[in-house]
Amino acid sequence: MRLDYIDNAKAMAILLVIIGHTDGIPHFLEIFIYSFHMPAFFFLSGYLVKDSKLGIKFKTYAGIQFRNLIIPYLFFAVFSLLYSILNNFISRNPIDLYSKLLGIAYGNCDGLVVNRVLWFFTCLFVTSLLFYLLFKALKKAYLVMLVSLATCLLFMYFHNPSQMRMPWNLDLSIIALFFFAAGKFYSEISIKNDLVKKNGTRIAFVILLCIALFYLSKLNGRIDMAYMVFKNPLLFVANGCIGIVIVLLSSLLLPPTKMARFLSRNTIVIFPLHPLIFSVFTAVGMMIFKLPHSFQATMLFAGIYSCGAIILCYPASLLLFNFLPIAVGGRKKL
């Protein structure tokens, strides 16, 4: 059974990702969005883990996660590579195929020059495996959450930004694991039924939490999970949690819509394709309309880019779900 408020939450998370990747949003809004949009994605991923999957053998679980995440990762990486080669050919730039392939094999944001957002696929894969192993050892999601919280805070405190990144985001997964485990714990205790029931109270909480998060995110500065930029560890975790609560409460305020369900179901397509669509929009603006490269750095074009990416992802989703389902983890037809 689908939960409408979770569809709303996933839709909000992917919209924040898309908007956050545009060049036209104000800096303060970028800082605000980046403080929690990826923690929210890991949280929702943990929420959606079924107990039945945690009861199977590790090899079977890993195989399912490989099908759901790594095969789509490889598909979109190859697609992005072909796009990158074509783009370099048109612009007559040299093509360093070796470094692009090496980046895909390494699987983190530093090397994925063909499409940097693909880091999320490998990171979520490793994070889900770490959660499985810890859950098997500790038996309770809240224990995994507490252990991972202590581990991620210690890791961020001693982390040296200049050190070489680990392949497939093994290092970043230590941080993401806390939010993933928190999502699973939330799904078990059903906070939504006990915490805030009245819409008026929810609205008041959302407003107050947004004000608090605007201040705290500005205090911590621009963070970026993909590049392991966290600034203050406590503020990073606190801001991520506040943002997640904002998303959850806001999702309960919104009615179920076909658009929210589409965005929720198609995050696996929208997430990797929207940067490529942005690139095409920029090329069209510069080559056909002779606009300067800076034309995209306005709120108007941030809106146009975001809406255009969502619109173009619809036919792409139809094609992939209906004719190449393996590319989207073997999911059912739309």
What is the pTM assigned to this prediction? Answer: 0.95
Please say if the pLDDT value at position 145 is more than 50. yes
Q: CA of 109: how far to CAs of 87, 100, 322, in Å?
A: 20, 12, 30
CA distance 321 to 315: 10
Residue type at 54 in one-letter notation: L
Q: Would residue 334 count as lying in a domain?
A: no
Q: Would residue 15 count as lying in a domain?
A: yes
Q: Is 296 exposed, middle or buried (0-12, 13-18, 19+ CB in 10 A)?
A: buried
Q: Would residue 226 count as lying in a domain?
A: yes
pLDDT (tens digit, 9 = 90+) per residue, 86-130? 988 887 888 889 999 999 999 999 889 999 999 999 999 999 999
Identify the residue with better confidence: 176 or 200.
176
- Closest to 20 in 3D by CA, of 42, 36, 3, 43: 36
Domain that holds residue 138: 4-328
Confidence of residue 266 (pLDDT cuts 50, 70, 90): very high
Q: Would residue 168 count as lying in a domain?
A: yes
User: With contact defined as beta carbons under 8 Å apart, do 242 and 216 qualify?
Assistant: yes
Token pair of 51 as six digits: 């107990």
CA distance 190 to 96: 50
Please say if the pLDDT value at position 1 is more than 50. no
Cα 230 → chain centroid: 16
User: With contact defined as beta carbons under 8 Å apart, do 104 and 66 qualify?
Assistant: no
User: Can you give the length of the chain in residues?
Assistant: 334
Domain count, the chain: 1
Please say if the pLDDT value at position 35 is more than 60. yes
User: With contact defined as beta carbons under 8 Å apart, do 122 and 108 qualify?
Assistant: yes
Q: Would residue 333 count as lying in a domain?
A: no
Among 204-213, 263-272, 273-282, 284-293, which stretch is predicted with the lowest mean pLDDT? 284-293
Count of alpha carbons within 13 angstroms of residue 278, beta-carbon side: 25
Region 260-278: mean pLDDT is 96
Residue type at 169 in one-letter notation: N
Please say if the pLDDT value at position 196 is more than 70. no
